[in-house]
Amino acid sequence: MMRIVIIALSITLAIMIGFFVGARFFPFEAGLSDTQRMAAAEKLMGMSFTDEERELALEDVLENRRHYGKIRQVSIPNPVPPALEFNPVVAGPEKTPPADVPLQMSTLPDLTRPGEIEELAFATVRELAERIRTRQVTSEELTRMYLDRLKRYDPELHCVISLTENLALEQARRADQEIAQGIYRGPLHGVPYGLKDLFAVRGTKTTWGAKPYQDQVINQDATVFRRLSDAGAVLVAKLSSGALAWGDVWYGEKTRNPWDTQQGSSGSSAGPASATAAGLVAFAIGTETWGSIVSPSTRCGTTGLRPTFGRVSRAGGMNLAWSMDKVGPICRAVEDCALVLDAIRGADGFDREVVDRPFPYTPSVELKSLRIGYVKKLFEADYDNRPYDEATLSKLRDMGVQLVEIELPDLPVGDLAFILNAEAAAAFDEMTRFNLDDQLVRQVRMAWPNVFRTARYIPAVEYIQANRLRYLVMERMKDLFAGIDVYIVPTYGGDNLLMNNLTGHPAVVLPNGFDDKSHPVSICFVGDLYDEATLLAAAKAYQDATSFHQQRPARFAVSR
């Protein structure tokens, strides 16, 4: 049975507590007795007890409040996880896992050094890797080029929190020395990248995009940074995140979409998507709890991978919702996502929910051999991007794919969103209690300050019941994938995005056209748990048959 994450005492029966403290919350009811306030609280919870039942419960409710007070005297840092954990795998037989063979890469045509190094600004990781490996270009050349573009274009895009110039040049020179000595660490060796500013890197600020933390320096290296460093990648910048991982609004300027700088880049992986799309980094690392890789990748026309929950360690990163947070790459091509995932995946001994599973990616999959489902009901709905998605289905059929009509679980998935809110409110409990949330830029209904406060009124029983329903959804998804390998769905179709983030399934989103305002649009492929290899191979086959990912935002393109 699923181990439900975080039964936070700070939210249990908090709705009742508000009424017990009288005038502070409801001054017009200051004369009510405790049991009368309990009755009022019941109305908000949709419950009804008798007077005798309230009298019997009163002493224990007041006792719980005393317990809350003592617990709150202990300051619990953000990295501390709950004792209970989330496991996306449900009970019952599993598919036979594939052998964990070395990752394979696609072949490339002969590459030559361009006349100007900046002509490589939009090259894929795969292309850069081959040029570095064959010593056509050096890592230091690429690093200086990307640093220059970051400095030149950040005043328009507002995607950079901190340039890591000294660290980058040190890593680049080391990469060049090693490669000259015949030491080659793999396809990320010497490749410059950006890191979402939720992850700690010693000696740099880690601001979480929020004013209360804008000068925060964490004396730790996040696992994802260490893994990329071990692979020889070069960190050139910490990139913007929406405040506490929501949206494209942080304590600085709104991060912009390179395709339309009057438009935000969406979020919360706002900086990683914007910088990758504008050719300021070769790839970037983002995070997703509910759309934070998918949404900015769609807006900016990048290719984003949200891996299976538990694929990549979150150690050294900001925690928002322990049962939903995931780390993944934002790139310019599907295969780049595979190269990055291979470097950052696997258990590290710090994030207890990360497991070691095979990742036998190969680019040579035959689409006709895969069972690819599509959610017909969602494709036939009335929505803005329907023509582009219909063209995608038509293209897949032209490629020989026999699409299988499927239906997603018929359960109230949209009503489970408060699971995230409850966990996030616990992660930032002290921000609410000490009014630090007043410093956040966004102070509207759909923003963290209000969501954190509202979550205090979620009864613990309802949180647990929601997670039990979540388990039923996970079981239905297991049944669905018993008959298919991958399915395709409109990126924002129905409750699919929330559902996948609750069940832990991986997804890759990639551009499939441009609307009448020349803004990118996207399509989403969803895979089975821990089967990113099949998912990425299927998405790559479609991407290779199109050219949308090769388009460049004119303002930031390199003239030849």
Q: Which of 10, 139, 196, 254 is catalytic?
A: 196
Do the domain assignments include residue 540? yes
Question: Which amino acid makes up residue 104?
Answer: Q
Q: Are 292 and 268 in contact (CB under 8 A)?
A: yes
- Residues 276, 406, single domain; the answer is yes
Please report the pLDDT score of residue 42 as a whole number. 86
Annotated catalytic, 268? yes
Do the domain assignments include residue 181? yes
Please report the pLDDT score of residue 315 as a whole number. 98
Three-class secondary structure of residue 283 per DSSP: coil
- Residues 53, 143, single domain; the answer is no
Here the CATH number for the domain that contains residue 475 is: 3.90.1300.10
Q: Are 297 and 248 in contact (CB under 8 A)?
A: no
Please report the pLDDT score of residue 480 as a whole number. 98
Does an H or E element contain 509, and which? strand 507-514
- Residues 139, 59, single domain; the answer is no
- Residues 62, 176, single domain; the answer is no
Buried residues in 347-372 as b, exposed as e (16+ CB within 10 A): bbeebebbbebebbbbbebebeebeb
Please report the pLDDT score of residue 371 as a whole number. 97
Burial class of residue 180 (count of CB atoms within 10 Å of its CB; 0-12, 13-18, 19+): exposed
- Residues 22, 127, single domain; the answer is no
- Residues 66, 142, single domain; the answer is no
Residue 153, phi-psi category: left (phi > 0), alpha (psi -120 to 50), beta (remainder): alpha
Q: Which of 292, 297, 323, 522 is catalytic?
A: 292
Give me the domain span that covers residue 380.
Answer: 117-356+365-411+469-556
- Residues 152, 56, single domain; the answer is no
- Looking at 22, 53, 74, which one is the last position of a domain? 74
Three-class secondary structure of residue 395 per DSSP: helix
Do the domain assignments include residue 442? no
Question: Could you report the per-residue pLDDT of 102-160, keeping only the tens digit for each?
Answer: 889 999 998 989 999 999 999 999 999 999 999 999 999 999 999 999 999 999 999 99
- Residues 61, 208, single domain; the answer is no
Which backbone phi and psi does 288 adopt, to 5 degrees?
A: -140, 135
- Looking at 55, 74, 93, which one is the last position of a domain? 74
- Residues 142, 260, single domain; the answer is yes
Do the domain assignments include residue 451? no
| Straight-line distance from the first to the last Cα atom of the chain, in angstroms, rounded to the nearest whole number | 59
- Residues 232, 296, single domain; the answer is yes
pLDDT, tens digit only, all 560 positions of the chain: 344 433 333 334 343 444 343 333 344 455 789 899 889 888 888 888 899 988 988 898 888 888 888 888 989 998 888 988 999 999 988 888 788 888 899 999 989 899 999 999 999 999 999 999 999 999 999 999 999 999 999 999 999 999 999 999 999 999 999 999 999 999 999 999 999 999 999 999 999 999 999 999 999 999 999 999 999 999 999 999 999 999 999 999 999 999 999 999 999 999 999 999 999 999 999 999 999 999 999 999 999 999 999 999 999 999 999 999 999 999 999 999 999 999 999 999 999 999 999 999 999 888 889 999 999 999 999 999 999 999 999 999 999 999 999 999 999 999 999 999 999 999 999 999 999 999 999 999 899 999 999 998 899 999 999 999 999 999 999 999 999 999 999 999 999 999 999 999 999 999 999 999 999 999 999 999 999 999 999 999 999 999 999 999 999 998 64
- Residues 3, 121, single domain; the answer is no
Q: Between the CA atoms of 285, 291, 294 and 300, what dihedral angle is there, to the nearest 10 degrees? A: -80
Does an H or E element contain 326, and which? strand 326-331
The CA–CA distances, whole Å, from 188 to 128, 192, 304, 317 equal 9, 8, 17, 21
DSSP for 354-387, please give it: ---------TT--GGGS-EEE-HHHHTS--TTHH
- Pairing outcome for strands 284-288 and 326-331: antiparallel
Do the domain assignments include residue 397? yes
Question: Could you report the per-residue pLDDT of 266-317, keeping only the tens digit for each?
Answer: 999 999 999 999 999 999 999 999 999 999 999 999 999 999 999 999 999 9
User: Which position has the token pair 């780049």?
Assistant: 336
Annotated catalytic, 266? no
pTM above 0.75, yes or no: yes
Provide the 8-state DSSP code for 424.
H
For residue 31, count other CB atoms closer than 10 A to its CB.
8
Do the domain assignments include residue 419? no
Question: Could you report the per-residue pLDDT of 150-200, keeping only the tens digit for each?
Answer: 999 999 999 999 999 999 999 999 999 999 999 999 999 999 999 999 999
Cα–Cα distance, 237 to 245 (Å, whole number)? 18
**Tokens found for residue 271:** 């900086």
Please report the pLDDT score of residue 341 as a whole number. 98
For 243, residues 6+ apart whose C-beta sits below 8 A from its C-beta are: 208, 209, 210, 211, 249, 250, 251, 440, 441, 442, 448
Annotated catalytic, 196? yes
- Looking at 74, 102, 125, which one is the last position of a domain? 74
- Residues 46, 163, single domain; the answer is no
Total structural domains within the chain:
2
Q: Which of 268, 269, 295, 297 is catalytic?
A: 268
Please report the pLDDT score of residue 29 as a whole number. 52
Do the domain assignments include residue 424? no
Q: Are 268 and 241 in contact (CB under 8 A)?
A: yes
For residue 560, count other CB atoms closer than 10 A to its CB.
8
Please report the pLDDT score of residue 1 as a whole number. 39
Provide the 8-state DSSP code for 333.
S
Please report the pLDDT score of residue 41 as a whole number. 87
**Tokens found for residue 332:** 């310019």
Do the domain assignments include residue 547? yes
